Structure 1
Amino acid sequence: MPEQGRLTKSTGLTRFHWAAWVVFPVVLSALLRKRGGFYYRQTAQLAAMAICALYGVFASLTLPIIGKTHLINWSVARLYYHMTGYLTGLTATIEGKEHLNPKRSAIYVANHQSNMDVLFMASVFPKATSVVAKKALKYYPFLGWFMTLSKAIFLDRKNRESAVKEAKQAAQDIHNKKTSVWLFPEGTRGFADKLDLLPFKKGAFYMAVQARVPIVPIVIANYNHLYDSKAKRFNPGNVKIKVLPPVETNEIDESSESIDKLAIQVREKMLMTLKEISIPNPQLLTTPPSLSTTTSSSSS
């Protein structure tokens, strides 16, 4: 009898132990999602990214078997947005969804402020779309595995010849496989504390013209008042995202001058929209107009 009693007690403690592991994180996240500070939210979003990357590996291996390859990146994005949004209290309001047409190939270009752009990108990410990323991400555990399996396009920014080759191959895939591509034409994180954009690199525009597909600009409002890694600021809140009408490329030739003009045109539209949808803040300064109309001569 004593042994049986100890066994029953032990079983009860084990059940409680496992129940605590399941319930405690849920209760903690519910309490902290709008009260937790910078380090809690930063940890929560990194944990969510790791979980979604693992799911992405699974999705990349299984969805093609049932003919749902076009849902790999989309399903990972949706999972990441809802999971991270719940844990951190960050959400997005999207305007212009009618310009997202998964049945038509396109080059989606968005402004780049910080690593939190992945969250806002996930809120609006279209089906049948791949991403363009720097080659270094390919070697990240979990995330790199998922991106490799999901056919992400990795560009080596230090090797222009390799980057151009990859961009041309991507253009062929867009045309032949009827897929779309998402990238950040600034090439790196831009101004987080200013209502401005870095000069656009031309790789996205060459890609669109070569594939004869439209460019769909997507503008994420400045969210420096909610997130700033340097200031250790990470607050819950809502961020506006606006999808602009497609910019057609059928009549544009592949000359450098035409590509430059296209890049400037798209950048100006996006910069104007950024100023329109961002929350007015005296700390967000705009650089002189002379710097706003220059574009980079780099092609990737």
Structure 2
Amino acid sequence: MTLVQRLKTVLFYLVLSASAFLWGTLNLLVAPFLPFSARYRFVVQRWCRFAVWLAKVMVGVRYEVSGLENIPQRPCVILAKHQSTWETFFLSGFFSPLSQVLKRELMYVPFFGWSLWLMRPIAIDRENPKVALKQIAKQGKERLEQGAWVLIFPEGTRVPVGQMGKFSRGGAALAVNSNLPVLPIAHNAGHCWPKEGWAKYPGTIRVEIGPLMHAEDEGPRAITELNQRAERWISERMEALEGRAAVPG
């Protein structure tokens, strides 16, 4: 990474951090008085879109989206590849309102975490997977019934470029038990925004929204089959995307 890009990245983080503090403080004052959908647009969607825009203008991280025709009118369960923080910003700004499955430790971050709590996330304890699955099933169904998309990263954590993590069945189980489809999403954000370190590389992130996937039956076997089908589609698209991506330099 060049010296100029390093300086741009440092400036990007400074502006992003300052905006998170200012926006989080404002939201704590305003958001509690807004209905959930308006609160989400005001608190999350606008700031996340600002973060994606900031990455574009300051460090050259652009994006292209394909498969828009696959997005249903009714919210459902989103299963997305997880490589970086970028897709968290992007998907939270793209789908509205959205409830995200995330680690509960984020709730304790001053200002940012407190504002995040107002957005009805599904904050789980990763150290207790059995309880987490029950929580996803219960709260996820509630969020869907309230008209919110539910975003799940089935790998559970960010996985480096070129690798695939094991898919948890929680998202597929939620879809089957709610009688709703899964919307798979693949992308190659890790090339521009790596998991490790603070470096940001200019380039174009390709986001692919896949076809809706419905369970073919009910029960544990249907959950396993749906989860494997979503994992297979994302894995195949990731191979194609990473084969097209330029090596950061």
Range of TM-score over shorter length: 0.7 to 0.9
After superposition, where does 1:1-300 map in structure 2 within 5 Å?
36-54=7-25, 56-57=27-28, 60-64=31-35, 68-69=38-39, 71-72=41-42, 73-101=44-72, 103-122=73-92, 125-192=94-161, 194=162, 196-224=163-191, 226-228=192-194, 230=196, 233-249=199-215, 251-255=216-220, 257-280=221-244
Over aligned residue pairs, what C-alpha RMSD do you find? 3.0
Q: Which secondary structure state, in structure 2, belongs to the residue aligned with residue 68 of structure 1?
A: helix
1:75 to 1:40, Cα distance in 2 relative to 1, 3 A:
closer
1:204 to 1:142, Cα distance in 2 relative to 1, 3 A:
same
What is the CA distance between 1:160 and its match in structure 2? 3.1
| Residue pair 1:94, 1:241 contacting (<8 A) in 2 also | yes
1:55 to 1:181, Cα distance in 2 relative to 1, 3 A:
farther
1:168-198: per-residue Cα shift (whole Å, max 9, x none)?
2224314532221112110011123x1x311
TM-score, with normalisation over the residues of structure 2?
0.83
What is the CA distance between 1:229 and its match in structure 2? 6.1
1:235 to 1:174, Cα distance in 2 relative to 1, 3 A:
same
| Residue pair 2:160, 2:195 contacting (<8 A) in 1 also | no
In our comparison, the structure showing a higher alpha carbon Rg is 1
1:83-127: per-residue Cα shift (whole Å, max 9, x none)?
3433332221111122233x402111111112333344345x211
Identity over aligned residues, as a percent? 21
Give the letter aligned to residue 213 of structure 1. L
Give the letter aligned to residue 172 of structure 1. K
| Residue pair 1:130, 1:152 contacting (<8 A) in 2 also | yes
1:108 to 1:281, Cα distance in 2 relative to 1, 3 A:
closer
CA distance in 2, matches of 1:215, 1:229: 26
CA distance in 1, matches of 2:197, 2:145: 46
What is the CA distance between 1:69 and its match in structure 2? 4.4
**Unpaired segments of 5 or more residues in structure 2?**
none
What is the CA distance between 1:219 and its match in structure 2? 1.0
| Residue pair 1:33, 1:87 contacting (<8 A) in 2 also | no
CA distance in 2, matches of 1:229, 1:243: 22
TM-score, with normalisation over the residues of structure 1?
0.70
Give the letter aligned to residue 213 of structure 2. V
| Residue pair 1:48, 1:83 contacting (<8 A) in 2 also | no
Q: Which secondary structure state, in structure 2, belongs to the residue aligned with residue 278 of structure 1?
A: helix
